[in-house]
């Protein structure tokens, strides 16, 4: 049997504060480090060379393990991917609850041959507590900022409307700059509040059966003036029959409006933004496509990140939060979203929502 060689590698694994377990290609245990041995209350040296199944039986006796626990999965020795997931499990005797992130990767020898697989388990409780405190702070700070900003904007709007009397041209220009920046700050505050609520699990969806066409048509109406200003043609295609979806109408309109606004912003004058509905894999699919400059391939993975703006978008402004909120809301609806793009051709944002058990809607 091939084993993890003695020396520096084994010392480093044993010194990790996180739990670590290595298995060979036949699912025999190569190594259990001290951190993992302490958690499962076993002597690490007793497990080298023993079948992984015996280790799992001990876990079954002591822990309420989730069915997705990666150790239960059959892994293919040819699998060279690196994987990461988060999970929770608790001690059966009413003890601790463990929140861990599992990182899994192939275990190789000096020549690069795959010997087995290494699983490393990081304690996530502290990180989750920090995330909770951060979300609470952001929510409180944003709420406190929104009230004075709304008052400032209201005062500026009143002065511009003539409520306080005539103003000079220079004063009007300065106030219009203030008004524009008030609007931008309020949008940023609202986006931050939305994201903080989603991350804290405080978004309450009001689900109802809905023809997605209705939400899209309302969103198209909402961005019509923006499209007209940019001479952008808006088109919608839907199949003759479309299943209903169980969604929160306001939140789905928020998703579609954000995607449409982005598509319009990056489209050339006299271009087209097309919305296409379809049925795919038991889901209702919505695609928002533009004819803009596209997104470089090496930046596609960043588009849904918080405060992330790809190179082509920085000159267009925005908070850098819109697509992060879109992705979070689609996920809240048990859907998925992705992006496809070609430089100088255009970009397609596509999301899918599970079809409702209710009957289809005819056009």
On the 0-12 / 13-18 / 19+ scale of CB atoms within 10 A, 202 is exposed
Sign of CA dihedral 188, 269, 310, 217: positive
pTM to 2 decimals? 0.60
| Tens of pLDDT, residues 116-145 | 888 888 877 777 777 777 777 777 777 788
Lowest mean pLDDT of 55-64, 77-86, 146-155, name the range.
Answer: 77-86
Who wins on pLDDT, 81 or 310? 81
Phi, psi of 262 (to 5 degrees): -65, -45
Do 107 and 118 contact (CB within 8 A), yes or no? yes
Do 32 and 44 contact (CB within 8 A), yes or no? yes
| Residue among 126, 108, 28, 116 at smallest CA distance from 77 | 116
**Sequence-distant (≥ 6) Cβ neighbours of residue 145 within 8 angstroms:** 185, 189
| Tens of pLDDT, residues 193-247 | 887 777 777 778 889 999 999 999 999 999 998 899 889 999 999 999 899 999 9
Phi, psi of 238 (to 5 degrees): -140, 145
Q: Does residue 273 carry a pLDDT above 50?
A: yes
Bridging pattern class, strands 97-108 and 207-210: unpaired
């Amino acid at each position: 049997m091939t084993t993890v060689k003695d020396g520096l590698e084994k010392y480093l694994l044993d010194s990790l504060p996180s739990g670590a377990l290595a298995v060979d290609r036949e699912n025999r245990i190569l190594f259990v480090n001290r951190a993992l041995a302490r958690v499962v209350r076993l002597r690490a040296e007793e497990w080298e060379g023993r079948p992984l199944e015996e280790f799992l039986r001990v876990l079954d006796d002591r822990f309420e393990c989730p069915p997705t626990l990666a150790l239960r999965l059959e892994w293919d020795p040819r699998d060279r991917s690196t994987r990461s997931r988060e999970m929770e499990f608790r001690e059966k005797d009413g003890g601790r609850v463990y929140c861990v992130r599992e990182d899994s990767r192939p275990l190789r020898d000096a020549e690069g041959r795959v010997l087995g697989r290494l699983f490393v388990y990081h304690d996530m409780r502290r990180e989750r507590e920090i995330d909770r405190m951060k979300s609470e702070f952001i929510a409180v700070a944003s709420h406190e900022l929104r009230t004075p900003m709304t008052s400032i904007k209201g005062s500026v709007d009143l002065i511009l409307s003539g409520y306080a009397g005539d103003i000079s041209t220079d004063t009007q220009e300065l106030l219009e700059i203030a008004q524009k920046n008030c609007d931008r700050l309020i949008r940023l505050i609202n986006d931050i509040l939305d994201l903080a609520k989603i991350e804290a699990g405080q978004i309450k969806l009001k689900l109802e059966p809905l023809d997605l066409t209705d939400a899209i048509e309302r969103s198209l109406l909402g961005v019509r003036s923006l499209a007209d200003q940019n001479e952008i043609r808006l088109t919608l295609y839907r199949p003759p029959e479309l299943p209903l979806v169980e969604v929160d109408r306001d939140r789905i309109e928020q998703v579609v409006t954000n995607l449409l606004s982005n598509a319009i912003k990056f489209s050339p004058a006299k271009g087209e933004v097309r919305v296409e509905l379809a049925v795919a894999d038991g889901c209702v699919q919505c695609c928002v496509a533009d004819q803009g400059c596209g997104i470089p391939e090496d930046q596609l993975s960043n588009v849904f990140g918080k405060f992330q703006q790809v190179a082509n978008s920085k000159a267009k402004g925005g908070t850098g939060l819109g697509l992060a909120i879109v992705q979070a809301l689609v996920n809240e609806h048990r859907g998925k979203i992705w992006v496809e793009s070609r430089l100088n051709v255009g970009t397609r944002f596509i999301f899918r929502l599970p079809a409702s058990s209710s009957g289809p809607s005819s056009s």
